[in-house]
Amino acid sequence: MPATITDRETQPHDLFNPTEAHAALRDMVEKFSLSSLEAQATDFDEREEFNVDLFRRLGSELGLFGLTVPEEFGGSGMDAVAEVIVHEELSRTDPAFTLSYLAHEILFVNNLYVSATDRQRRKYLPGVIDGTKIGAMGMTEPGVGTDVLGMTTVATKKSDRYIINGAKQFITNGDCADYVVLYAKLDANQKDITSFVVESAYPGFSVGKKEQKMGMKASSTCVLYFEDMEVPAENLLSEENRGVVSMMRNLEIERVTLAAQSVGIARRCIDEMAKYAIVDRQAFGRSLVDHGQIQRLLAESYADYAAARALVYQVAAQLHPNARNSLGAASAKLVATNMAERVARNAIQVLGGYGYIREYPVERLLRDAILLSIGGGTNEAMQKNIAADLKKQFTPKN
């Protein structure tokens, strides 16, 4: 990885590293990215495979699983800013690997901890925190994406268990997950949603086709099927028909960490285009950066990146399991993901033909960036959510 525009931003007590623990976390993840993640990123992208062995090291060696889980349950007792730091730093090198981290760490581990009983936490958290088990979340369905309330997966109560039938689409880590936080309805005709923790070893749980994607190729995505899958009643998370509460609460930290991935992608793209324009390439007898067209692409990219990064960290500092921030989370995702696509595209333009080939990582980073405006609720949905939240704030109270 080339020299980076933000090498010196590792001191504590600022927006991006509020404490010494945050600064140390950033330093550790950056070193891991340089020593272990960088070398395998292109290879696993081309092979379209998830590096499971390297992924498990995040738990067994680095302790990066369970950052928001209290130490009492084996976690680090940190916060959403810590999650943003990790997602940003890992995405500078391999956004696809980071997406699988997000699915495990945010969509399963954080989600489960907030919604589960202590008994459920003690049963399921140890394995996913030490990396011996892998987690995922099942929300999107073949016919239902952003309109989650239209899901058709049904859980029918029968004595001391639930019988679940349905399917989930575009599930990150689906083919390697041991545990899944699964959303279903108790009645197909109702709107209320109920959540469960299920195990891939349960009879009736099966994995469908692995998707072939434009980007994020080193993160596995597949269909999950549930055919008369029996789930013990004790695996119900929270209460019946309360799944939307936990879903929406977890979507906020998901959106902020997706935004952090966008920040990491943009940061690497700026590093690549700055080094190329300032150090590596000359045109018409001058450094490439001395040409006004290149200055515009580089300057606007950096300014957009810096603004989005500040917003993402500000919102992350305000996130808490017991306090909603839908407006901030949606805004951070909308701004950062759009920014990352622009910056990655600018990087390709600055590098010219080299940006379009795989000798440089910017073409991979652009392909990966596009997914981030879709996952966690499309950016069109973010616009709708922001407008709805503003409407609530500005509508006069009777």
Catalytic residues: 254
Q: Under a CB-based contact definition with an 8 Å cutoff, are residues 188 and 132 in contact?
A: no
Instruction: Tell me the two tokens of residue 360.
Output: 């440089």
Q: Under a CB-based contact definition with an 8 Å cutoff, are residues 136 and 180 in contact?
A: yes
Q: Under a CB-based contact definition with an 8 Å cutoff, are residues 71 and 77 in contact?
A: yes
Q: How far apart are CA 345 and CA 297, in angstroms?
A: 10
Q: Under a CB-based contact definition with an 8 Å cutoff, are residues 268 and 368 in contact?
A: no
Classify strands 286-287 and 205-210 as parallel, antiparallel or unpaired: unpaired
C-beta neighbour count of 61 within 10 angstroms: 11
Instruction: Tell me the two tokens of residue 206.
Output: 């099966």
Q: How far apart are CA 100 and CA 173, in angstroms?
A: 6
Q: How far apart are CA 336 and CA 262, in angstroms?
A: 6
In terms of C-beta density within 10 A (0-12 exposed, 13-18 middle, 19 or more buried), how is residue 35 classed? exposed
Radius of gyration of the chain (CA): 21
Q: Cβ contacts of residue 331 below 8 Å, gap of 6+?
A: 311, 315, 382, 386
The H or E element that residue 221 is part of is: strand 221-232
In terms of C-beta density within 10 A (0-12 exposed, 13-18 middle, 19 or more buried), how is residue 10 classed? middle
Q: How far apart are CA 205 and CA 58, in angstroms?
A: 27
The H or E element that residue 137 is part of is: strand 135-138
